[in-house]
Amino acid sequence: MSDYFKYTVAEDGVCTLTIDQPNSATNVMNQEFLDGFRAALECALADDQVKGVILTSAKSSFVAGADLKSMEATLFGKPAAKTLYEQCWGFSSLLRRMETGGKPVVAALNGPALGGGFEIALASHYRIAADVRGMVVGLPEVGVGLLPGAGGTQRYLRMIGVAKALPLLLQGTQLKPDKALELGLVNEVVQADDLLPAARRWLLGSPDPVKPWDKKGFQVPGGSNPMLPNLAQLFMGTAANLQANTYHNLPAPLAITSCLYEGMQLPIDKALQVECKYFVKLNLDPVAGNMVRTIFINKGEADKLVRRPAGVAKRVHQKIGVLGAGLMGAGVAFVAAQCGIEVILIDRDQTAADKGKAYSEARLRKDLERGRIKPEKIDAILARIHPTTDYSGLSDVSLVVEAVFEDRGVKAEVFAKAEAVMPADAVLASNTSALPISGLAETTRRPANVVGLHFFSPVERMPLVEVIRGRQTCDAALAHALDFVAQLKKTPILVNDSRGFFTSRFIGAFINEGVTMVKEGIDPALIENAARMTGYPVGALTISDEIGLDLAYKGAQQQAQDLGKDNKPGSSVDVMATMVATHGRHGRKNGKGFYEYDADGSKRLWPGLGDIWPRRPAAEQPNVQEVKHRMLYAQFADAARCIADGVLIDPADGDIGGCFGVGFPIYLGGPFAAMDTIGIAAVVAECDRLAARYDAERFAVPNLLREMAAEGKTFYGPKRIVPPARQAMRVS
């Protein structure tokens, strides 16, 4: 029997199976787990002394779900559909065996039970959840392009009915114990020290080991005939909502809906087979693989600081400085204070500094109103933020984040004031979104200690930080900057220095193409809707208004000043100049941009766009596919150049940055995962077509991509390339 399961039988006939995966902080499901589970279960079912079984865990959670390494092999190893079905059915049939084995099984959930872990619990005859911090249950598989494949959809359906099950499955809802109890997905919620006694009491109370759906006359709650008016309306509305919200870019929601629609009309065993077939179909779809790789595998490695330089002692930051108490600076101060770090928040006058602290207070008061925080915790967080105009408070900080205007002169001024009092080994980090870090470092006396920490707005909600290594940045400064990001519980990506780094130039390619199409007379509504249909959360014109047309205009002016005769303005720069300088349209901030904004928050595209850039006749408008390709492939080309030029060290950083930083369609997994899926040769061919038709520079692909196409290389997998930046690291 596997070491994963500790098997004990007490004198009263209660068998306890304790899940305890060796050499792991959590229990994860792989083939060894399933083999051990099967052996332990069969032993209990065959043992005449055993009256019932308690399933519990020795870890802080119950079962964390599938093992990522085994999942990666399944999703990217291209196994045969039959093999996948046999693997899926092996788990599903095992749970069915437990369900119909004739002995009662109670799941004693001592910690979070999600995905396959909760499917095990659902197949048990009774579920008791411990009321502990962080306790949640649910089936979140839709979030990575999959569905529960071991009976989750069918047991939800039979326990709570389709009307309640469908939204939970489509949203991947994670339920707190009280809500799960209210829905009937758990049977009891008890204090942690009463969990096993409660499970034992239930087993010794002569429970019925037959599930309701295995008894004659069972009816699905709410009905099982999809032609009933209420159910027909539910499925029609769901289909319409899926189209409106996902444009069917995500196959999992539709598969989940189909599982319930078909399963409600079938006996449980047949329904489980249908579910398993849909699970296999999703596993073979590249969407699931790309989402799992980026959301779990790549992000998981980034969270573990996979890019952190080796040999540098970890630094725990106790006190930092933030220069600039505007939206970004206030956000950094707030997040740092929440994580227990003292913050010296500096601005040019006390009123501005106090306003920065007030941002944190306002955010915390909202949390208090929603019951998410206690008053005493608010006081402790706010006490860590010290608004001031005095730089002397930086004398004992370990890191300073600069978050002032995107102006070299202003940044140089605050750098000089800060480093005059900072400790010699403290890190000086700039939150610039585009200005090269190496150039900013040249204005300081400590270029080796200067890094870029590009946060995204709003800081407290956005999970990503782009960490930029300048030409002179030393390993210690980089490591300590990454340590800071980890303390904030953010995900870092590491890039080398360049204008715009990765994320700003990557989203810039999308915005530039969308705005350029306005200049060409393409219908702005078509541009915006095509972006949504591709999977972007909003269109290029909306993003431009949110960021601020004036900021884009000033950024273009700064670039022209920096580069002089070498400057090559983007094709949308003249549009931004016209909007800002001629018409005073700065975006949402002044209620006038590509959209017009009302006081109540409603908006509409500005009719004046057609007066400045006459719209083509309807017959000359491009089709949706062409508009989608222009935006998407402009980003592909730029991402490929970032790899070829050594800006990106690894494609994983680009995929994480694209999806978590600037809204690249998550179902594609990021630009590099998407290019692999489409095929590198096909990407090159389409970029060449677009370059010939529209602009040779915007769609130009680097030689690296052409070589990859010729040699059958990819960004991931066994034929993956070694990026130039990684090769350079090996040499140096």
Looking at residue 1, what is its pLDDT? Answer: 46
Give per-residue pLDDT as tens, 462-499. 999 999 999 999 999 999 999 999 999 999 999 999 98
DSSP for 669-697, written as a single string: TSHHHHHHHH-HHHHHHHHHHHHHHT-TT
How far does Cα 99 stand from its chain's mean position? 35
> Considering 11, 86, 119, 361, which one is annotated as catalytic?
119
Q: Compute the distance between CA of residue 115 and CA of residue 579 in angstroms, rounded to an integer.
A: 50
Give per-residue pLDDT as tens, 220-273. 999 999 999 999 999 999 999 999 889 989 999 999 999 999 999 999 999 999
Looking at residue 728, what is its pLDDT? Answer: 64
483: helix, coil or strand? helix
pLDDT lower than 70: segments of the chain? 1-2, 727-732
Q: Could you tell me if 502 and 495 are in contact, meaning their C-beta atoms sit under 8 angstroms apart? A: yes
Cα–Cα distances in angstroms (integers) from residue 519 to residues 80, 167, 540, 685, in the given order: 49, 42, 13, 26
Amino acid at 160: I
Domains and their CATH numbers in the chain: 5-284 (3.90.226.10), 319-497 (3.40.50.720), 504-726 (1.10.1040.50)
119 is catalytic: yes
141 is catalytic: yes
Q: Compute the distance between CA of residue 607 and CA of residue 623 in angstroms, rounded to an integer.
A: 22
Looking at residue 307, what is its pLDDT? Answer: 95
Sign, CA torsion 250/242/166/276: negative
Looking at residue 732, what is its pLDDT? Answer: 29
> Considering 11, 42, 99, 141, which one is annotated as catalytic?
141
Looking at residue 66, what is its pLDDT? Answer: 77
Radius of gyration (C-alpha) of the chain in whole angstroms = 28
Interstrand relation of 450-455 and 464-469 (parallel, antiparallel or unpaired): antiparallel
List the 188-190 sheet strands across, edge first. Answer: 5-9, 14-19, 52-57, 105-109, 126-130, 188-190
